Chain A
Amino acid sequence: MNMERRTIYVLVFVSLLFFILVGYLTCFELFQKDRIVSNPYNRRQYEIEEKTLRGSIYDSRGKVLANSVVTDGVQKREYPYGPMYSHVIGYSSRKYGKSLIEAKFNNYLLGMDDSSAVLSIKDKLTGNAREGNDIYLTIDHELQEKAYNLLGDRKGAIVAMNPKTGEILAMVSKPDFNPDDSELEKNWSNMIDDEDAPFLTRATQGLYTPGSTYKVVIGAAAVENNLSDKIYEDKGTATIDGKKISNSGGKAYGKIDIKTAMAVSSNVVFATIGCELGEDNLKEIAQRVGLGASIPFDIPVSQSAFKYNRMSNADMAAVGIGQGKILVTPLHMALITSAIANDGVMMKPILVSRVERRSGIVLKRQKPSELYRIMSPETASHVKDMMVEVVESGTGKKAAVKGIKVAGKTGTAENELTARQKNKEHAWFIGFAPADDPQIAVAVILEYSGSTGGSAAAPIARDLISAWVK
């Protein structure tokens, strides 16, 4: 190796150092910067926030849900409806930072996004104070208020959405908190230690066993595998692979088909169907409806889970009735319900419909888009019929609304507490209406309520449906 060659190696070495620098800078800018720049020691951030009137947040009809007002030169974030939107909009506090919409859309609210930089040239020319952009949610305030009051002091979540567009119409999680800065200051330390986790946005981040509501998914798989006309013998209990499966109250329904089994929520029949479908089918449909996949949304969403590697017959029976190692978020159940209502197409959920400058120029608009096709229109229509039957003659009668054809499914989910304590089941209800031309899909969960989905959750869905569909 001569000197010339070694000199070239040195050149390569120094070039490598430079390219490491370039790569590092690029990575820094792409991945690390947001976290670092928001450090409270960065005076820039603080100065921009001081100088900018933070944008307002509106519901779909233009009602103010959050806005900033300046009094004596001090800017204050106001939430006119207190805790009602705490799990949708979140909070914006200098001391505690930001959450949910306030965090995710912070750059828009402060007018720091790229398009604002170009458009704000006019502001700069006229010398106006910097203004942030306004955000319009898809939420309908009246429906949100209704849902908020219906849930009352119970713990749980409600998600109501337009099944055809994916727009979220109402989203409530409880317990909640008051996002006002001074209230946060007062309660912060109590709330972060609180076992009820008031900061947990249950609608999108709470993970629950779906229970019998998962039977709509199993029903779809059954239809696809030509089990819909098969007659099953329901003796009230069955033992599969050593595991005892029994119907609610141990009631025997005799010879029934899947439609009736769905209506009465027969565990025996669905556990049998689960075994008949087999491991591959169960996994395949779970994957198709989005379990284990991340759902794009405007606020953080936990990933629903289907945690099986190999399944025994007992596992298949458990999955058949929505028990076992399945966890879903209420938002995800609402999406699955919407997909059934929408001929098998799951729409991407939308919470922010558009971002607007004060001048009215729309900077960002979210148009409805398909997320997954989870089943064929024929299958969806089959499942829909079963769900109509649930409300007309089955466990979901309390969700029935006069003059409107409601489709639904109840669920009473066992969970980690039910093994040790009585009356700790989650009460579920999913549904949509009108069945022939769905305008609203609802998922309701009352966590650890101890009551059945049909008695506790279905009436909430009924009231929301009757308020929305007129």
Chain B
Amino acid sequence: MFETLSTILKYVFAIIIYIFIYSIIRLIYLDIRSMSAKAVSSSGKHPYLKLLNIREELPFKVEEIYILDGNKTIGRSNDNEFVIKDPFLSGRHAEFLLKDGMIYVKDRGSKNGTFVNNERIGSTEVCINNGDRIQVGSLSFILIKDE
């Protein structure tokens, strides 16, 4: 009885391990794709936000990059420039502001908060620089800005 099961299950075993490897390699592939997307957009002059989450297929639509070519608001409702249907985002979540070549971000009274480099920010504008990490809802972005 045991021998039978073991003989059959060894195939199942091998298949599961390879499914696992496949799923990880697929994510690595997504990763590389997003890196090449970055290479494409960095040819433009504008700073942009790059999505860091590649954890799994997200159940809502989200771009790899969001270009900051002007003041932008981010949130779940449709009147934002960056609309992302992430349930952890508030309707009007945060705003990015461009002044004199500097970029600022401020929270617009969101429920779950806006974080810059793991620190929660309020409604006062916070200056962000190249490489800073911005977290909103369940998403993390990194700011890419040519100095």
Within the complex, are A and B direct neighbours (CB within 8 Å)? yes
A-to-B contact residues, CB < 8 Å: 117-118, 121, 124-125
> In the bound complex, how far is the Cα of B3 from the Cα of A125, in angstroms?
8
CA distance A117 to B3 in the complex (A): 10
Kindly list chain B residues whose C-beta atoms are within 8 Å of the C-beta of A121. 3-4, 7-8
Assess whether A125 is in contact with B7, with CB atoms less than 8 Å apart: no
Min CB distance, B4 to chain A, in Å?
A: 5
In the complex, the 10 A-B pairs of residues with the closest C-beta atoms, listed nearest first:
A124-B3, A121-B4, A124-B4, A125-B4, A117-B7, A125-B1, A121-B7, A124-B1, A118-B7, A121-B3
Q: List 11 A-B contacts (CB under 8 A).
A: A117-B7, A118-B7, A121-B3, A121-B4, A121-B8, A124-B1, A124-B3, A124-B4, A124-B7, A125-B1, A125-B4
In the assembled complex, the Cα of A117 lies from the Cα of B7 at a distance in Å of 8
Report how far A117 CA is from B10 CA in the complex, Å: 12
Main secondary structure on chain A at its contact with chain B? helix
- CB-based nearest A residue for B1: A125
Residue from the set A117, A118, A124, A125 with the largest chain B CB neighbour count within 10 Å: A124
**B3: chain A residues within 8 A (beta carbon):** 121, 124
Question: Interface of B with A (CB < 8 Å)?
Answer: 1, 3-4, 7-8
Instruction: Supply 7 further A-B pairs (C-beta < 8 A) apart from A121-B3, A124-B1, A124-B7.
Output: A117-B7, A121-B4, A121-B8, A124-B3, A124-B4, A125-B1, A125-B4
CA distance A27 to B61 in the complex (A): 46
Looking at the assembled complex, report how far the CB atom of A125 sits from the nearest CB atom of chain B, in whole angstroms: 6
Q: Within 8 Å CB of B4, what residues of A?
A: 121, 124-125
Closest CB in chain A relative to B3 CB, distance in Å: 4
The complex places the Cα of A124 from the Cα of B7 at a distance, in Å, of 11
Chain B residue nearest to A124 in the complex (CB): B3
Q: How far is the CA of A34 from the CA of B7 in the complex (A)?
A: 21
A68–chain B nearest beta-carbon distance, Å: 23
Q: Give every chain A residue within 8 A of B1 (Cβ-Cβ).
A: 124-125
Min CB–CB distance B8 → chain A (angstroms): 8
With a cutoff of 8 Å between Cβ atoms, the chain A residues found around residue B7 in the complex are 117-118, 121, 124
Interchain nearest-CB distance for A345 vs B (Å): 42
Residues of chain B lying within 8 A (CB to CB) of residue A118: 7
Question: B14 → chain A, closest Cβ, in Å?
Answer: 14
Shortest Cβ gap from A51 to chain B (Å): 12
Determine the distance from Cα of A121 to Cα of B4 in the docked complex, in whole angstroms. 6
- Cα distance, A124 to B4, chains bound together (Å): 7
> CA A237 – CA B3 in complex, angstroms?
76
A453 to B7, CA, bound (A): 58
Docked pose: A121 CA to B8 CA in angstroms: 9
A124 to B6, CA, bound (A): 11
- The CA-CA distance from A320 to B87 in the complex, in Å, is 91
Residues on the B chain within 8 Å of A124, using CB: 1, 3-4, 7
How far apart sit A124 and B8, CA to CA, in the bound complex (Å)? 13
The residue in chain A whose Cβ has the minimal distance to the Cβ of B8 is: A121
In whole angstroms, how far apart are the Cα atoms of A64 and B98 in the complex? 94
- Least CB distance from B17 to A in Å reads 14
A117 to B4, CA, bound (A): 10
B44 vs chain A, min Cβ distance (A): 23
Q: Which residue of B lies closest to A121 (CB)?
A: B4
- Which residues on the B side are within 8 Å of A117 (C-beta)? 7
Cα distance, A117 to B8, chains bound together (Å) = 10
Complex CA distance for A118 and B4, rounded to whole angstroms: 9
- Bound-state CA distance A125–B4 (Å) is 7
Taken together as a complex, chains A and B put the C-alpha atoms of A242 and B77 apart, in Å, by 105
Contacts of B8 in A (CB 8 A): 121
Complex CA distance for A121 and B1, rounded to whole angstroms = 8
A118, B7: Cα distance in complex, Å: 8
CB distance from B108 to the nearest CB of A (A): 38
Residues of B within 8 A of A125 (CB): 1, 4
Q: Which of A117, A118, A121 has the most CB of B within 10 A?
A: A121
- Closest A residue to B4 by beta carbon equals A121
| Distance between A288 CB and nearest chain B CB, rounded to angstroms | 46
Q: How far is the CA of A264 from the CA of B8 in the complex (A)?
A: 67
